[in-house]
Amino acid sequence: MRYNSKRGIVFKLLKKQKTESRLPNMSFEIGKRFIVLRSSEPRYSGQRIPVILGRGRAFGSGEHKTTRSCLEEMEHIPIFPNSKVLDLGCGTGILSIAAAKMGALSITALDPDPEAIKTTISNIQLNRVKKIVHPLQGELEALDRENFDLIMANLYGDIVLTLAGKFPSFLKPGGYLLLSGIQYEYSYEVRAAITKSGCQLIKSKYLEEYVTLIFKKKPDPCRE
């Protein structure tokens, strides 16, 4: 559980946070483009995009189904390269690193947990993307109203509901919102709340216990 008493918003990342923070014993592939590697493994020379992770006390080794789902869907979101991305609840920074290696121009890796930020900093150095990924300890309110091409959030459904009305003000018209970690029982409410806030649902992907949702912000009618 992650909690900021000042803001009163709980960032409860997934139930397997502590177990997933342990790195897998060997590298593994995700989707059609990524491979997750331990920092102790030999230098990778294959065709996939390598995401290197060191040890740390944060969520996001890539083994959890919701993290894998985010990476699989990221491959198909048409905002790369030269895009501006927000990784909300970044954990180990795995999604930020993947977005950087997909060609994003700038990524804000935001998390209220100092351990997560420490782990993200270490991992972006391992992956040599420190000029692209910018770690920031805090919550969504810590940001100015920036216009992102993509917001990624692997969070519980009840937390997404508290943020649903805020997402559009941080997205460019036509920007994408990639959500995962949403339990089935929150799926309908999340879809309804974010659709009401000005985004269109373009994909639902049901996992064993969770759902991954992709939304696209509707164009600004004043600019059409």
Q: What is residue 15's predicted lDDT score, i.e. its pLDDT? A: 37
Q: How many helices (H) and strands (E) does the chain have?
A: 6, 12
Neighbouring C-beta atoms of residue 19, cutoff 10 Å: 12
Measured between alpha carbons, how far is 35 from 51 in angstroms, rounded to an integer? 6
Measured between alpha carbons, how far is 190 from 167 in angstroms, rounded to an integer? 12
Q: What is residue 144's predicted lDDT score, i.e. its pLDDT? A: 78
Q: What is residue 13's predicted lDDT score, i.e. its pLDDT? A: 45
Residues 6+ apart with CB under 8 A from 129: 96, 97, 100, 101
- For the domain made up of 2-223, give the CATH fold: Rossmann fold (3.40.50)
Q: What is residue 41's predicted lDDT score, i.e. its pLDDT? A: 76
pTM: 0.86
Residue 171 β-bridge partners = 148
**Residues of the chain where predicted confidence (pLDDT) is lower than 70:** 1-26, 56-62, 220-224
**Torsion, Cα of 140, 143, 148, 152 (10° steps):** -30
Q: What is residue 58's predicted lDDT score, i.e. its pLDDT? A: 53
